[in-house]
């Protein structure tokens, strides 16, 4: 039972070497013989209720990576991101094909950084690099910005990585580390080519605004899971009123508008700029 409790206190799956250090070889042998724990290949031990994505990655002889790791770690994901299981394998690895499902996407690359020693997960850096090849540039930027926020990374740290691909280096050059949400990243990425100054999370009247275009045009973006309660909506209305009293023009857009009706959003912002609302 010691091994079961030990695995249960983690993610339900762990490297055999870590388990040996924690509970010993005899406990591992007894738990597997009783059927409480299964061996995944020779390197991993898993409970029956262990996360299927981690077990599948270990069973394929690799580590969870790319969009699959992003979902596990809670990074913001575009709606159209691939649903396949993405697995990181090293080029020198020989992995039996029988353990790789048809829905697996394999990334055969030399690791940029070591992954966790006790989990079948790729490093954050490798997952980001793989995404640069699986996602369109805008979607890639969205996920990278979210990873910076969730993982507590700095923009300098991201740019200092020795990215082996042109796509990853291009994404690293674009990250700002300022977005409060994936929607915010999308809007900024689409408006940057206009050449008008855009600042993110500027504090006005004691509260940050999502975007400040020029000097006086505020753009607020309501995420899918946010601004939905009466209390949150009241705070939004109060903030918008305070901004207008201070002389700002405020445009507020919803999740659905940004993702599914972008031309209307773009046109509204363009009209405000044409009227000089940003000056």
Q: In whole angstroms, what is the distance from residue 234 CA to residue 253 CA? A: 16
pLDDT tens digits for 108-159?
A: 999 999 999 889 999 999 999 999 999 999 999 999 999 999 999 999 999 9
Q: In whole angstroms, what is the distance from residue 244 CA to residue 173 CA? A: 35
Q: Kindly tell me if the per-residue pLDDT of 201 is higher than 80.
A: yes
Residues in the chain: 279
Fold of 2-50: Arc Repressor Mutant, subunit A (1.10.10)
Question: What is residue 103's three-state secondary structure?
Answer: coil
Mean pLDDT of 74-96: 81
pLDDT tens digits for 37-72?
A: 999 988 899 999 999 999 999 998 899 999 999 999
Question: Picking from 23-27, 95-99, 199-203, 235-239, which range would have the lowest pLDDT averaged per residue?
Answer: 95-99
Which pLDDT does position 232 carry in this prediction?
Answer: 82
Q: β-strands 249-254, 217-222: how paired?
A: parallel
Mean pLDDT of 249-261: 93
Q: Report the half-sphere exposure of 275 (CA within 13 A, side-chain side).
A: 10
Q: Give the residue with greater pLDDT, 15 vs 83.
A: 15
Strand partners, 208: 203
Provide the residue ranges of all domains of the chain, joining segments of one domain with +. 2-50, 57-174, 182-274
Domain 182-274 has CATH 3.40.960.10: yes
pLDDT tens digits for 218-253?
A: 999 987 555 567 788 888 889 999 999 999 999 999
Determine how many CB atoms are found less than 10 A away from the CB of residue 190. 15
Strand partners, 146: none
At 75, the pLDDT band (50, 70, 90 cuts) reads very high
Which pLDDT does position 94 carry in this prediction?
Answer: 52
Which pLDDT does position 224 carry in this prediction?
Answer: 59
Residues 6 or more apart in contact with residue 263 via CB below 8 angstroms: none
């Amino acid at each position: 039972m010691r091994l079961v409790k030990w695995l249960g206190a983690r993610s339900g799956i762990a490297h055999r070497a870590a388990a040996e250090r924690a509970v010993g070889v005899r406990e591992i042998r007894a738990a597997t013989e009783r059927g409480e724990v299964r061996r995944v290949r020779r390197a991993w031990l898993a409970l029956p209720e262990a996360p299927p994505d981690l077990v599948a990655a270990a069973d394929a002889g690799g580590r969870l990576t790319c969009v699959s790791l992003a979902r596990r770690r809670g990074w913001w994901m575009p709606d159209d991101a691939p649903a396949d299981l993405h697995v990181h394998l090293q080029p020198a690895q020989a992995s039996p094909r029988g353990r790789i499902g048809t829905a697996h996407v394999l990334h055969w690359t030399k690791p940029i950084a070591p992954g966790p020693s006790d989990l079948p997960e790729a490093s954050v850096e490798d997952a980001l690099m793989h995404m640069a090849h699986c996602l369109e540039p805008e979607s890639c930027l969205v996920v990278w910005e979210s990873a910076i926020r969730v993982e507590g990374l700095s923009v300098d740290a991201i740019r200092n990585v020795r990215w082996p691909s042109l796509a990853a280096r291009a994404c690293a050059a674009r990250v700002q580390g300022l977005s409060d949400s994936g929607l915010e990243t999308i809007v900024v990425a689409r408006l940057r080519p206009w050449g008008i100054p855009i600042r993110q999370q500027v504090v006005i009247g004691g509260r940050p605004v999502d975007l400040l275009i020029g000097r006086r045009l505020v753009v607020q973006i309501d995420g899918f899971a946010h601004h939905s309660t009466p209390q949150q909506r009241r705070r939004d209305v109060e903030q918008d009123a305070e901004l207008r009293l201070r002389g700002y023009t405020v445009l507020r857009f919803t999740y659905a508008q940004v993702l599914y009706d972008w031309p209307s959003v773009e046109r509204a912002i363009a009209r405000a700029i044409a009227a000089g609302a940003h000056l």
